[in-house]
Amino acid sequence: MRGLERQVGRRRFWLALALMLMLQALLAVALFFLQPDSRPAAVFTAYRYWLFSAWMLLSAALVIVWLVLDRLLFVPLAAVTRGAETMAGPYPGHLLEVRRGHWLGDLPRAVTGLGSALEAARDGRDEAFAGGDPTDHKMALERLLNHLPAGIIVADGEGRILLYNEAARHVLRDQPALGLGREVAEVLAERPLRSALLRRRRGRGPPDQSTGTSFVCATADASRLLQCRLILLDEGEGARYVVTLEDRGMPTPERMGHERRMREAVDALRAPLAGLCAASTAAEAAGDEPTAEARFRHIVNEEAVRLVQRFKVLAGEAEALLAADWRLADVHSGDLVAGVLAQEPDDLPKVTMGDEGEWLRGEGYLLERLLANLLRRLRAELKVAQVRVDAALYGPRVYLDLCWLGRAVPPAQLAGWLESPVEDTGGNTHLGEILERHDAALWSRIHPRRPQEAMLRLPLPAAERDRSTVSLPPRPAFYDFRIGERVATASEEAGQSLSDLDCVVFDTETTGLEPSQGDEIVSIGAIRVTGGRPIHGEVFDTLVNPGRPIPEASRRFHGIDDEHVRDAPDITTTLRRFRAFVGDAVLVAHSAAFDMRFLELKERRSGVRFDRPVLDTLLLSMLVYDHSGDHSLEAIAGRLGVPVTGRHTALGDAVTTAEIFVRLLPLLRGRGIRRLEQADAACRRLAAYRMQQRAF
């Protein structure tokens, strides 16, 4: 709040100075026209002239001195003070925003030196910590949690989520309410969970406590069934508990349809088969009755035709079912190659990875065998010494290219390879069969961009992973065991410490700047901030179909065009999901009024109300950095050492804003702004002050 007072103070000073000068001018004019009788007119005129000139000079000198002092001393001093606060707080590497020609002497250099020394000291401390046991153990635990294939949620006695791992996030990827401090019942159906808890607490589970209680539970929106297990961490009514989650591939509608049609197709064979058996037996028995025998032979033929028709249906369903569910899993191309090299390096060419690889969907072991087989044949039959493996994503497929210097594999030779059996695959599996089971093909040609190279191209199904447009820094696990201590009721919220608040920092991309003139949202990105840190695994990122064309200017700004949003959900659906993601969190945005205006204008149509308190990082930055007029996202990010990624994507800007927000918190504390109500009040006062300024 001191920042705002300082700004108001400066403004008052300039007003007072202007008033004083006006008064002086008035006085001078009054004196000028005054005609005392006692002195000769000429003397008086000269006296008035000199007096007036002296006044004018004095006033001008006063203004100039003040301007010089302000520019060369006061403003640089304010910049050094803000900078020193930033260095002592979130970012020791802060660059002082001091213009050349200031009168502060070596002070800025000394402060910058102090910042550098502080940064080095902090780095040293972090390194020392990193080498120590506790951090090691913590990181090892985080890695372990994230490599567990099962989803894990830890909740306190009230059912609030204290921890969840990457697998839980994947299993519950369609539940926007998943987040630290949120209720487990917001992501899992409450009744089965409560019943499992009761059974566990009453000791009705199996005798071995460590195995917990197994139960099947639907997601909160009842879209999928999960296999769960519940283990109590403590004793008594308020005991914390762990729920493990596995998406056991519970029947999807598609899969259930396959199964039903398969059953029907099998059952449909039974009737003609029964008729066939009976008619054939009867024909044999009717050897002494030619008419009856001929009749039953006719029936045999009729039933055989029906059988063939129904068999075709069955065969089609069986094929579809096999292709749909064939132990397929997400596997990384790099892991496939590493798996091949780990087992049989002797008779293979030298293999390198041409890129970082891609995630694909397949049966890992069979794909390894297939790759090993191809590599071995390249070495043995084409004398290839070195192969580079490239992987590129093209729509729903990953192209796995084996590239080498030399000629392509002739089609006849390749056809021979496809018919050859693959060793160690159980039974007589052919290369071609492995390809068929992955709905893949294999061909060889000259490399399209490197004519001296040949390649074998193997298109495989891409993994069904969410691909975020912004690469987020990896965050091993998502946990906060202090949630129980921080949770506040609505009345307590205003008095809650800012760094304890559960916030959702968001940004929107739009078709234009005028929501009241029909501009619409085309993308919403958000990230949760809990306990004063952004939780990179808890993000909301979606395109929105605006229901109108996106103007060229906006398209150039954010890169989203009509084609991108054609299949995206409409604003009502998106706002409902976003509201569920926000829950009870406080909203934070940069220049929040703009984004909130878009949300508010949709309130009536969507029925979704965003009634949570809103904080604006632009106003918060003005409170902290009162010496500067530049409060753009880039400028603040630069001051606070926040790397800017994915600028002008909703999620990218939300992440940058979140990093800025958490770094502003300690600086706000230094200004006496510690609680939500104080931040809210300061933002309101500053907004009102800006409105007044604009009115001038």
Partner 1 sequence: MAARVLIVDHQRNLAEALAYLLRRAGYTVRVAANGADALAAAAAESPDVVLLETSLPDLDGYTLYERLRGEGAGHCGIVVLTANQREAERDKALALGADGYLVKPFDPADLIDRVRVLAAART
Which two structure tokens, joined as six digits, stand for 69?
């002092």
Burial of 544 (0-12, 13-18, 19+ CB in 10 A): buried
Residues with Cβ within 8 Å of residue 601, at least 6 apart in sequence: 515, 516
Helix (H) or strand (E) holding 200: helix 190-201
The single residue among 148, 292, 487, 601 that binds partner 1, judged by CB under 8 A, is 292
Please choose, out of 17-25, 58-66, 268-276, 536-544, the segment that lies near partner 1 by the rule CB under 8 A.
268-276
Please choose, out of 18-26, 264-272, 536-544, 642-650, the segment that lies near partner 1 by the rule CB under 8 A.
264-272
**φ, ψ of residue 210 in degrees (nearest 5):** -70, -20
Which two structure tokens, joined as six digits, stand for 441?
């093909």
Question: Please, are residues 493 and 548 in contact by the beta-carbon 8 Å criterion?
Answer: no
Please say which residue, 307 or 338, places its beta carbon nearer to partner 1.
Answer: 307
Least Cβ distance, residue 228 to partner 1 (angstroms): 27
Catalytic residue among 102, 170, 332, 648: 648
Please say which residue, 67 or 274, places its beta carbon nearer to partner 1.
Answer: 274
Please say which residue, 84 or 279, places its beta carbon nearer to partner 1.
Answer: 279
Helix (H) or strand (E) holding 397: strand 397-405
With contacts defined by CB under 8 A, how many residues of the chain interact with partner 1?
A: 21
The single residue among 273, 338, 405, 580 that binds partner 1, judged by CB under 8 A, is 273
Least Cβ distance, residue 461 to partner 1 (angstroms): 34
Please say which residue, 274 or 315, places its beta carbon nearer to partner 1.
Answer: 274
- Which of 298, 385, 368 lies closest to 332 in space, CA to CA? 368
Please say which residue, 85 or 293, places its beta carbon nearer to partner 1.
Answer: 293
The single residue among 285, 329, 385, 441 that binds partner 1, judged by CB under 8 A, is 285
Residues with Cβ within 8 Å of residue 113, at least 6 apart in sequence: none
Please choose, out of 141-149, 156-164, 282-290, 514-522, the segment that lies near partner 1 by the rule CB under 8 A.
282-290
The single residue among 17, 286, 321, 580 that binds partner 1, judged by CB under 8 A, is 286
Least Cβ distance, residue 282 to partner 1 (angstroms): 4
b/e code 36-59 from CB counts within 10 Å (16+ = b) = eeeeeeeebeeeeeeebeebeeeb
Assign residue 460 a region (left: φ > 0; alpha: ψ between -120 and 50; beta: otherwise). Answer: beta
Residues with Cβ within 8 Å of residue 187, at least 6 apart in sequence: 153, 172, 175, 177, 178, 219, 220
Question: Please, are residues 448 and 457 in contact by the beta-carbon 8 Å criterion?
Answer: no
The single residue among 279, 544, 599, 658 that binds partner 1, judged by CB under 8 A, is 279
Helix (H) or strand (E) holding 640: helix 633-640
- Which of 365, 482, 372 lies closest to 426 in space, CA to CA? 365
Asked if 274 touches partner 1 (CB under 8 A), the answer is yes
Please say which residue, 62 or 285, places its beta carbon nearer to partner 1.
Answer: 285
Rounded-to-integer distance, Cα 108 and Cα 95, Å: 10
Q: Bridge-partner residues for 243, per DSSP?
A: 153, 230
Please say which residue, 310 or 377, places its beta carbon nearer to partner 1.
Answer: 310
The single residue among 140, 277, 329, 688 that binds partner 1, judged by CB under 8 A, is 277
Which two structure tokens, joined as six digits, stand for 150?
């099962």
Asked if 282 touches partner 1 (CB under 8 A), the answer is yes
Please choose, out of 32-40, 263-271, 430-438, 625-633, the segment that lies near partner 1 by the rule CB under 8 A.
263-271
Least Cβ distance, residue 574 to partner 1 (angstroms): 45
Rounded-to-integer distance, Cα 520 and Cα 514, Å: 8
Least Cβ distance, residue 272 to partner 1 (angstroms): 8
The single residue among 45, 223, 281, 692 that binds partner 1, judged by CB under 8 A, is 281
Please say which residue, 148 or 299, places its beta carbon nearer to partner 1.
Answer: 299
Burial of 16 (0-12, 13-18, 19+ CB in 10 A): exposed
Least Cβ distance, residue 299 to partner 1 (angstroms): 5
Q: Is 275 helix (H, G, I), strand (E, B) or coil?
A: helix
Question: Please, are residues 269 and 307 in contact by the beta-carbon 8 Å criterion?
Answer: yes
Region 438-467 residues binding partner 1, contact defined as CB under 8 A: none
Please say which residue, 1 or 292, places its beta carbon nearer to partner 1.
Answer: 292
- Which of 494, 508, 529 lies closest to 613 in space, CA to CA? 494
Asked if 278 touches partner 1 (CB under 8 A), the answer is yes
Quick check: is 258 catalytic? no
Please choose, out of 280-288, 541-549, 652-660, 685-693, the segment that lies near partner 1 by the rule CB under 8 A.
280-288
Asked if 56 touches partner 1 (CB under 8 A), the answer is no
Least Cβ distance, residue 312 to partner 1 (angstroms): 18
Q: DSSP readout, 137-158? A: HHHHHHHHHHH-SSEEEEE-TT
Least Cβ distance, residue 270 to partner 1 (angstroms): 4
Asked if 276 touches partner 1 (CB under 8 A), the answer is yes
Q: Bridge-partner residues for 615, per DSSP?
A: 588
Asked if 262 touches partner 1 (CB under 8 A), the answer is no
Region 637-676 residues binding partner 1, contact defined as CB under 8 A: none
Please say which residue, 150 or 262, places its beta carbon nearer to partner 1.
Answer: 262
The single residue among 93, 159, 275, 666 that binds partner 1, judged by CB under 8 A, is 275
Least Cβ distance, residue 218 to partner 1 (angstroms): 24
Region 299-318 residues binding partner 1, contact defined as CB under 8 A: 299, 302-303
Least Cβ distance, residue 248 to partner 1 (angstroms): 22
Question: Please, are residues 409 and 444 in contact by the beta-carbon 8 Å criterion?
Answer: yes
Residues near partner 1 (CB under 8 A) are 267-268, 270-271, 273-279, 281-282, 285-286, 292, 295-296, 299, 302-303
Q: Catalytic residues, which ones?
A: 648
